[in-house]
């Protein structure tokens, strides 16, 4: 965060004089010249960073690793896509910025500043904006797809504890992340976990006049999408992130996403196969959800969370916590606070530092740069009805960056 400039320097003498006729407004030309020369005191030029490599690509735009020219520190720069925006600066980006400015926590990615390119003739006087973050060396999806990375039980506890800590913090700030997945969980080389990508995040509204909220339910990557969203709930809350946390936790052992549906319907089926059938007994109010009658809900499935995860997860308290995270009914799903008090984090082996394990890695591990993960055997059995697809990854290898 840039220091507060001293009072007097805010209107720098170096600013271009607002050159215009002694009367009247500036002409268009004068204004454009002014815009391109004005040195915005609170919005630095992106040229202060030097792009090193592309490390991510999504609907949101591109993410680059870059180096600060002044102190050689690495940062991640996320470009704000504005080209196709009819309504100016995207409201989603504004939300993300506002939320990130609010959420300052060890386990939430740190937004350093927002940079811009210089406005000039070439870009039609339209700056490009970048969100600049502290650089994190790895993401969890990348680490899990690297067979050389082995997490001990204590290390898994450390990861999950930090993840839940971050979730507890954002939820107590009344923010929903809405895009929990392993690729959005960053880990620094010193083993600090950071929740990232708040591009879908939003504030929890207090419902107005008793009216339920009408959030969009088209959020969360399918494989991590909780059952209430799959059933069209529009008045959801923090439990949507807790489901994702459960999926990620299981993935720490299975090494690949546990429910890889290719359609909403199939994802629901996978949920039922793992967590038991959707019935009003386990989930009162279920029948009121918008898509309850439209989706096909497999009947007569027993809940098999524990028995299916046990082959991977030997630790009984881990299985128990997973069992409480992967609960269909959002009202019964464990919250971040209670999860942090779970025996899992308070029994031996206690959470242990990740630094040592990570220090053996000589390169960054990002999902974007990693080879596609194979879906594992156990889960494969349950996905035979349809071919499970690993989402295609961009084949852009021109920026392969392997060493930090």
Residue 87 near another protein by CB under 8 A: yes
Q: What is the 3-state secondary structure (H, E, C) of the chain?
A: CCCCCCHHHHCCCCCCCCCCCCCCCCCHHHHHHHHHHCCCCCCCEHHHEEEEEEEEEECCEEEEEEEECCCCCEEEEEECCCCCCCCCCCHHHHHHHHHHHHCCCCCECCEEEEEECCCCHHHCCCCCEEEEEECCCEEHHHHHCCCCCCCCHHHHHHHHHHHHHHHHHHHHCCEECCCCCHHHEEECCCCCEEECCCCCCEECCCCHHHCCCCCCCCCCCHHHCCHHHHCCCCCCCCHHHHHHHHHHHHHHHHCCCCCCCCCHHHHHHHHHHHHCCCCCCCCCCHHHCCCCCCCCCCCCCCCCHHHHHCCCCCCHHHHHHHHHHCCCCCCCCCCHHHHHCCHHHCCCCCCCCCHHHHHCCCCCECHHHCCCCCCCHHHHHCCCCCCCCCCCCCCCCCCCCCCC
317 binds another protein (CB under 8 A): no
Q: Is 14 in the site for another protein (CB under 8 A)?
A: no
Binding mask 35-74 for another protein (x = CB under 8 A): x--x-xxxx-------------------------------
Site membership for another protein, residue 114 (CB under 8 A)? yes
Q: How far is the CB of 159 from another protein (least distance, A)?
A: 21
In the complex, least distance from residue 128 CB atom to another protein, rounded to whole angstroms: 10
- Catalytic, 179? Answer yes
Task: Please tell me whether residue 23 binds another protein under the rule CB under 8 A.
Answer: yes
Of 94 and 350, which CB lies nearer to another protein in the complex structure? 94
Total number of residues that touch another protein (CB under 8 A): 53
Q: Which of 179, 197, 233, 241 is catalytic?
A: 179
Q: Does residue 1 touch another protein according to CB under 8 A?
A: yes
- The interface region with another protein, picked from 68-76, 83-91, 150-158, 301-309 by CB under 8 A, is 83-91
CB of 345 to another protein, least distance (A): 19
Q: Does 209 sit near another protein (CB under 8 A)?
A: yes
Does the footprint of another protein cover residue 28 (CB under 8 A)? yes
Subset of 247-266 contacting another protein (CB under 8 A): none
Based on the shown chain and the rule CB under 8 A, indicate whether residue 97 belongs to the binding site for another protein. yes
Q: Is 78 annotated as a binding residue?
A: yes
Q: By CB under 8 A, is residue 34 in contact with another protein? A: yes
Active-site residue numbers? Answer: 179
Which parts are annotated binding residues for ATP?
78
Q: Rule CB under 8 A: which residues touch another protein?
A: 1, 4-5, 7, 10-11, 18, 20, 22-26, 28, 30-31, 34-35, 38, 40-43, 86-89, 91, 94, 97-98, 101-102, 104-105, 114, 116, 119, 125-127, 129, 169, 172-175, 203-206, 208-209
């Amino acid at each position: 965060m840039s220091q507060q400039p001293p009072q007097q320097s805010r209107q720098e003498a170096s600013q271009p004089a607002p050159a215009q006729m002694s009367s009247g407004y500036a002409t268009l030309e004068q204004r454009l010249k002014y815009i391109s020369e004005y040195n915005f005191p609170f919005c630095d030029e992106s040229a202060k960073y030097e792009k090193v490599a592309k490390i991510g690509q999504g609907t949101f735009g591109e993410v680059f690793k870059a180096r600060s020219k002044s102190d050689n520190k690495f940062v991640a720069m996320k470009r704000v896509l504005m080209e196709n925006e009819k309504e100016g600066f995207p409201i989603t980006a504004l939300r993300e910025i506002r939320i990130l400015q609010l959420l300052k926590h060890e386990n939430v990615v740190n937004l350093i500043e927002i940079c811009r390119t210089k406005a000039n003739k070439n870009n039609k006087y339209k700056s490009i904006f970048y969100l600049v973050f502290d650089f994190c060396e790895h993401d969890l999806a990348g680490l899990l797809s690297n067979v050389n990375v082995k997490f001990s039980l204590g290390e898994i506890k450390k990861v999950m504890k930090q993840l839940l800590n971050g979730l507890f913090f954002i939820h107590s700030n009344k923010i929903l992340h809405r895009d929990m997945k392993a690729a959005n969980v960053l880990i620094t080389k010193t083993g600090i976990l950071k929740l990232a990508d708040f591009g879908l995040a939003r504030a929890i509204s207090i419902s107005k006049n008793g009216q339920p909220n009408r959030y969009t339910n088209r959020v969360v990557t399918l494989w991590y999408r909780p059952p209430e969203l799959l059933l069209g709930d529009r008045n959801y809350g923090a439990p949507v992130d807790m489901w994702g946390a459960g999926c990620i936790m299981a993935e720490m052992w299975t090494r690949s996403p546990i429910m890889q549906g290719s359609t909403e319907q199939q994802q629901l089926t996978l949920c039922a196969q793992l967590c038991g059938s959707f019935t009003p007994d386990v989930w009162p109010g279920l029948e009121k959800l918008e898509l309850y009658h439209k989706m096909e809900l497999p009947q007569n499935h027993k809940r098999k969370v524990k028995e299916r995860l046990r082959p991977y997860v030997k630790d009984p308290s881990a299985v128990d916590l997973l069992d409480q995270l992967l609960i269909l009914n959002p009202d019964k799903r464990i919250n971040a606070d209670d999860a942090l008090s779970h025996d899992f984090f308070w029994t031996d082996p206690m959470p242990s530092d990740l630094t040592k394990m990570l220090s053996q890695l000589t390169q960054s591990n990002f999902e974007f740069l990693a080879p596609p993960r194979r879906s594992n055997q156990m889960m494969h059995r349950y996905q035979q009805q349809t071919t499970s697809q690993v989402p295609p990854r961009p084949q852009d290898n021109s920026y392969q960056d392997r060493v930090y």
